[in-house]
Amino acid sequence: MSLRPNRPSAQAGNRHTGGVEFLSQWWQRVSAMDAPLTTLASWVVLGVAVALVVLAWPLTRTVVTICHEAGHAVIAVLVGRKLAGIRVHSDTSGLTVSRGRPRGPGMVLMLFAGYASASVIGVGVAWLAWAGRSAAALWLIVVLLALMLLRMRNVYGALVVLATGVVLALASWFAPAPVLPWLAHTVAWTLLLAGPRPVIEVAGNRSPGTDGAQLARLTHLPRVLWVLAWLLVTVGALLVGGWLLLPLAL
């Protein structure tokens, strides 16, 4: 009986080659530069985003809630808190639970991050789209959603986050390259336009469980100051993002 050294099968080699080829194609797509939108196209995308915020608010509000809870979660991890779980509910509310010191700057930053997150993400996407990196912007959102999915603690929230990530991933992979700036601009404008609305909604909510009420208890500053701070961030982000997304039209 002759002994022959083990050799990798052709099937295993094909899988390895296929994986390398997929990663190579993915990286080429992510790192590709795209041409800026024309002035007309920029205004068309803005109109679509306005329609999403005005006419499809429940759907858009759910996306904003995902960003809101992602902001809480990211800051909680960055300030050294232990992230216990995230929930997104069908009524567009959400909850992020973390463990750590009940007071201090870290807790304040984590609470403040929620209502600012959609606008901050919108500015980030706008900046990448302005720099010609629309595919990178979309895939960064997909990665964030994938990490968020690992901490989801309810079925509805997991399905919504998964569906959002899958839609963006499929669109980013299969859409023709000229379509990606349209998609990135739409995402950016939608987040930027939607950012101030939940702040306005929460301004009249005096429930003790709101982020503003909790911040008021922690800092002994009036709740209205925190609402004004959120408005400053969200409206400022809208102005900055608009300047980036409509450079030819302004």
Could you tell me which residues come within 8 angstroms of residue 132 by beta carbon, excluding any fewer than 6 positions away?
Answer: 33, 34, 35, 36
CA–CA gap between residue 161 and residue 51 (Å, rounded): 22
pLDDT the model gives residue 23: 81
* Digit-coded pLDDT (tens) for 61-111: 999 999 999 999 999 999 999 999 999 999 999 999 999 988 999 999 999
Question: Does position 186 have pLDDT exceeding 60, yes or no?
Answer: yes
Could you tell me which residues come within 8 angstroms of residue 111 by beta carbon, excluding any fewer than 6 positions away?
Answer: 72, 211, 214, 215, 218
Report the pLDDT averaged over residues 201-225. 92
The residue extents of the domains of the chain are 37-245
pLDDT the model gives residue 6: 56
* Digit-coded pLDDT (tens) for 138-175: 999 999 999 999 999 999 999 999 999 999 999 999 98
- Residue 15 pLDDT class (50, 70, 90 cuts): low
Tokens encoding 83: 């992230």
193 backbone dihedrals φ, ψ, rounded to 5°: -70, -35
Could you tell me which residues come within 8 angstroms of residue 133 by beta carbon, excluding any fewer than 6 positions away?
Answer: 33, 34
Question: Does position 10 have pLDDT exceeding 60, yes or no?
Answer: no
